[in-house]
Amino acid sequence: DTLISKIDVDNIDMEEIKKQAEILKAGDTVIFPTETVYGLGANALDEKAVSKIYEAKGRPSDNPLIVHIGDKKQIYNLVCDVPAKAEIVMEKFWPGPITIILKKKDIIPERTSGGLDTVAIRMPSNKIASALINEANIPIAAPSANISGRPSPTRGIHVYEQMNHRVSGIIMGNDCVYGLESTVLDLTGDIPTILRPGSITKEQLEKEIGYVQLDAALAKKEDNIKAKAPGMKYTHYSPNADVYIVDGEQSKVINKINQLTEENNAKNLKTCIICLKSNEKHYIGKTICLGETLDDVASNLFDALIQADKEKCDIIYSESFTNEGIGCAIMNRLLKSAGYKIINA
């Protein structure tokens, strides 16, 4: 059965952390909060333990996992070489929401790296995550703790509802501060390349390490180009409802969504509108608010998609956001969840 621990980040119960760390040491799976999204963890150096992650998520096993460490120094045991730019990124942004890809040492099993000769490493800043990893004293492979294809969990209740009985342990902690998965930065080539945008932006990285490029696959509808981060090619972040992004001038977006909502009502289709708080009053249908700032939007987006499912709605319309800064990560996730369907208002 699943051991459930409720832990508050401001008053960490080390007895509960120890119990969950024992589960990890025994080669089983534990879900834990991080500052980005909840992760589904297991011993990264144990193939059998890692297999249990894929099983619990129902995920294709060619998808490589991020290895989480509790101390920067551990990276030297896991990768062949740490280039100067990696040292800078680790120094400036770790612990925090960025993952770096480097050539792996043999100690990392193929199961963890998805058969690649590289490995993704991240040191999370969430205090529950680091307490757990340090207590277990092993590197922890952890993808987002959702069933494959579904929105990533950012609240304790999301993992409890989706994953109870699918894993050996669950730590229900606080809401995730950032709410979108970490930036994935490939440092194996000549030019640092963002494979997945996240809260640490291209602009922030360029201040520290110079020119950074976005993987070409990010600009296009997936599938067109072979995505370098294998996980980027699958259906992602999809609620049951059909999602559309409505783009254009604000007043036109509002009119368009209201018109479509009326048409759906006539057809008995339940509609949910995902919007900024300040726009809520203009809509005639059921709304789910994302807050007001781009940081709010990032931290509430997956919760909004999960809420829309709970409402059993058939169609979701979302407002569109800027592509600048963290907007790049927001629009990346939103476009995927919409299957790239955009309505121009």
Contact residues: ligand TXA, CB under 6 A: 34, 36-37, 39, 63-66, 99, 101, 113, 116, 118-120, 122, 142-144, 181-182, 184, 195-196, 228-232
Closest C-alpha among 284, 286, 285, 289 to residue 319 = 289
**Least distance from C-beta 222 to ligand TXA, angstroms?**
11
CB nearer to Mg ion: give 82 or 217.
Answer: 217
With both helix axes pointing from N to C terminus, report the angle between 294-310 and 327-337 in degrees, rounded to the nearest 10.
Answer: 20
First to last CA, the chain: 50
Min dist CB 267 to ligand TXA, Å, is 36
Q: Closest approach of Cβ 187 to Mg ion, in Å? A: 21
**Residues contacting Mg ion: total by CB under 5 A:** 1
* Residue 296, CA distances (Å) to 177, 220, 291, 292, 303 in order: 9, 26, 5, 6, 11
Cβ proximity of 78 and 182 under 8 Å = no
Least spacing, CB of residue 66 vs ligand TXA, in Å: 5
Distance from the Cα of residue 99 to its chain's centroid: 11
With CB atoms as reference, the residue minimizing the distance to Mg ion is: 144
339, 262 Cβ separation under 8 angstroms = no
Of 116 and 253, which has the nearer Cβ to ligand TXA? 116
CB of 197 to ligand TXA, least distance (A): 11
Candidate residues 34, 118, 130, 144; the one interacting with Mg ion per rule CB under 5 A? 144
3-state secondary structure at position 186: strand
- Comparing CB distances to Mg ion, the nearer of 82 and 301 is 301
Binding site for Mg ion (CB under 5 A): 144
